[in-house]
Structure formats: structure tokens, C-alpha cells
Chain A
């Protein structure tokens, strides 16, 4: 462990390699976190099924490619499929838990996440799967840093999608309705906004976003039925660090988390990488809460 840590200083290029590769996957975390912040802010729900949307998006892209479609077309297809799934889940389950205790929504979406995870396990098998996009590798610093081009593409596509979402929320009619509902659902519904539709659209939009992220994950990295929960926890972690409404902070926190995970995973061993993410989340929660307690408050 210490050896690995020292290695990072002896070979700064190695540090750069780890950090850069981490930043790249961080962009995918940003996408999923955007979605979680959106649902949290508008529906007041903590969506534990978030990571399963990412995982399913990956499997949809995989199936599309296996059906002979161009690999990159898998991204919009995954988004569309997940949009429909999100809408359906909203109509079946989510709308029933919106006004209830937050614990109910956490537990209900946790149940949904088990359903989707186990369904995928039965349907697709538990193997680790990946999708070859057929792009080469980018070599930097005389070949000391190797970046798969698909990862770089995924990075920019993820940030591009995030930007698209931001523009959508800012300028489209539906986006404005979503923001109005987030601020004050009662006032919004008095002003003629169909809040139920807004909720459904928001939830479906979030699922689509995660679906696109999942398609990027399967192309640039790998997926299996059990990657969901870590993605949920990462999204949650990013949102509690950055806040629900602060886009710049979400991007910074997401990219930072990606780099942190990769470097920390190298130092402590990759078998502890997931544990580190979960412990980091616990530590951030506790730390933020302790700071508030000094002001005689607590996290709400």
C-alpha cells in the first residue's frame, strides 16, 4: 500500500495516467448525478434505482449492437428505452410515494433496484460484458499515458449531454415547467402546470440520461448486473457534496470523484475501490453533519 503510494511520486506519469482515466469516467458519474439531483429537486425522492438505469442502458446498447446496429447508435436507443421504462415505473410505483415519508421512497426504489438487478441477472447472465467500439488508443507523453479513444469520446459525449440537459431545463417550455414545479409545486399547479405530467417527464428524463450514461459505460468500460448500487451511491455522494442546484459543482465533484477513485484504488488495491466509494460517502455525510451540528443544525 505504502509502496504503491510512493510509486505515484516516483513516476508522476503514472499518477497522470490514473488521474486522467479517472476524470474520463467521472464524466459518466456527472451524468448520473445530474439525473439524481433533478429527481431529488423536483420529486423530492432519493432514487436508489438510479444505478440500475445506468446498468440497463448498458445492456440495451449491447443488445442493439448485437442486433447489428452501429455501436454509437446504441446511445440514443438506450436513452429512448430507458425513457419509456422510467415513464412506466413512474406510472406504476413512483407517483404513489411522492408525497410520502422519504424513507418510503428510499425503500420502494431500493426494492425496484433489486427487481431490475435480479431481472438482468436472469435475462443477461452475471458475466462482465463490454462492447468494442472499434476505436484506437490515444498515446500521450511519448506513450507513457494511454487513453482509449472511446473513453475520450465518452467523456465529451457525457459532458455534451449534461450541457444539453442544462439548456433544455433553461429554455424549453417543459424545462421551465420542471423548474417551476421544483420551486413550488402548489403554485405551479395553480398556474396551470400539470405537475403529475411534469413529475413523470422528469423521472423519465432522468432514466434516459442514465441510460445514455450506461451505453457509454459499456463501450468505454464494462458492465454486469451488479454495478448499479455503486453508481447510485456515487450519484448520491456527488449531489450531497455539490448540492441539488449547482451544476458547476456537480461537474467538479463528479470528475473529482472519478480521479479520486482511480488513484485511491491504485494505492489501496482495486479490490477495495468500491468499499472506498461507500466509505467516502459515509465520511462526507458525517463530516457535513458534524459541521452543521456546531451551528446547532443537522442535514435536512
Chain B
């Protein structure tokens, strides 16, 4: 499998704090990659650097073989690399279904497509994806009136609606009712298989990430501590140390 994302020696500082220190990792096309690490180890910062939410201080971020580290967040999104947020972000004052409609892939082409009627296929896809995450019944509610967990699912559905090649998910199970977590894992896997979306997932829940990811990278203090298959990472003494030492 070819590399879709290749992070090379990325460093990000906030004032004097080094949030990412020469981080290198890669994600292959079509896989589900995991990113773990104790609180404050720089996982979300790395996500923000990848999607272009802030500039990086050193290193390069290659996506489909091209350096994207100086592109704007919207330009990166138009190339099919999107993220979801730890604190979910949806359009709160709009109905759920409109949140989906405005996430259709052709809005990334410019403003003229916005005046075209959305095709029947696009409408059907919006409904299907809402059913996929179990929000079809809520389609006419204002998105802001949904519970936190439901908003998280909506954000996930919006991301899928935009037909990304690669999706970065920041703690998809945090705040989700534990009884629904297995269903969510199943949906993530199906999104990966059926829609062919490469996933890169930050996750705190060890059971979830071991179950989900093909390969895992562990960060600590802004540096890569270990990477490999779930089993390799789980057995790695340094990873155990980082988690036990940190807690």
C-alpha cells in the first residue's frame, strides 16, 4: 500500500512550549491508523498542524506526495483531507439535514455550484448517512439542540458526506454513551471499507483503538515513543511506562 500521509520531523512550538518535537509518522492509503498518548502529549496539535489550522515551525507534511504544510485549511480540505474536532463543531442554528446538505462535496468547487439544485443522489446520500449514524429521525431539528454525543455523530456524518480521501478523527468515542461505542466502532470500520476512507484516529479508549486500528503510533511529551501493530505497541515497555508514569 502506498503512503497517503507522510509527516516528516514536524515541530510545533507555542511560545516556549514544544508541543510537537520532530514528529515523524505515516499513514498508508486505505488503512485505519491510530494515535495514542497521555494527555498533553501533542496529539491534537499534530492534527491541527496536518490540516493546516496553524503553521508549523519545522518539518514537512506530505499528503499524496505533495508538501501541504504551507497550504490553508480550506485548500487542504478541498484535496480531501478533513478532520473532526474533539469539542465537536457543527452549524448549531441550522437543521441537521441542512448541515448535511452544505457538506456535500461539490461545495468545495467554488460558489457557483451553490446555486445549482442539489441532485437527487446527493439528497439521498445525506439521508442515508444520517440513517448510517442513527440521526435520520432528528433531521429537522436544529443541530445545536442535539446532545453532545449526537452532535459528534452528526459531525462524523458531515465529514463522510464531503467524501474525503482521508479523515482525521479526534477522540470519536469521547462523550458517547458507552452502550453505543461498539456500534460506532462498527461504523468507523464500515466507513473505511465501504467508502474507502483512510482513517487516522486519536483515541483514549485503549479497548477501542486496539480493536479498530491497523497500526498505532504513541506520542509522549511531543515525541514519537513507539509505533507498530496494536500488539507491538501494547507490549512496548516504553508505552506502558508513559501511561503508568503519567497517571
Contacts and interface: CB of A to CB of B under 8 A. Distances in A.
A300 interface: no
Interface residues of A, number: 3
Residues of A contacting B: mostly: loop
A296 B54 CA distance: 5
A295 B73 CA distance: 12
A6 interface: no
Nearest to B70: A296
Nearest to B52: A296
Nearest to A293: B72
Nearest to B73: A296
A297 B55 CA distance: 9
Contacts of B54: 295-297
Interface in A19-75: none
B53 interface: yes
B45 to A, nearest CB: 14
Interface string A262-300: 000000000000000000000000000000000111000
Contacts of B72: 296
A295 B53 CA distance: 9
A295 B55 CA distance: 6
A160 to B, nearest CB: 36
Interface in B49-76: 52-55, 72-73
Nearest to A297: B54
Nearest to B53: A296
Nearest to A294: B55
Nearest to B48: A296
Contacts of A297: 54
A295 B70 CA distance: 10
B74 to A, nearest CB: 11
Interface string A194-223: 000000000000000000000000000000
A70 B229 CA distance: 86
Contacts of B55: 295-296
B131 to A, nearest CB: 36
B53 to A, nearest CB: 7
B37 to A, nearest CB: 24
A295 B52 CA distance: 10
Contacts of A296: 52-55, 72-73
Contacts of B53: 296
A295 B48 CA distance: 13
Contacts of B73: 296
A160 B52 CA distance: 48
A292 to B, nearest CB: 11
A298 to B, nearest CB: 12
Interface in B115-146: none
Interface in B12-69: 52-55
A295 to B, nearest CB: 6
A297 B54 CA distance: 7
A59 to B, nearest CB: 44
A216 B219 CA distance: 61
A170 B218 CA distance: 47
Nearest to B71: A296
Contacts of A295: 54-55
A296 B51 CA distance: 11
A164 B52 CA distance: 46
Nearest to B54: A296
Interface in B72-93: 72-73
Contacts of B52: 296
A297 B72 CA distance: 11
A170 B72 CA distance: 43
Nearest to A295: B55
A297 B14 CA distance: 14
A299 to B, nearest CB: 15
B51 to A, nearest CB: 10
9 contacts: A295-B54, A295-B55, A296-B52, A296-B53, A296-B54, A296-B55, A296-B72, A296-B73, A297-B54
Interface of B: 52-55, 72-73
The 8 closest A-B pairs by CB, nearest first: A296-B54, A295-B55, A296-B55, A296-B53, A296-B52, A296-B72, A296-B73, A297-B54
Given A295-B55, A296-B55, A296-B72, 6 more contacts: A295-B54, A296-B52, A296-B53, A296-B54, A296-B73, A297-B54
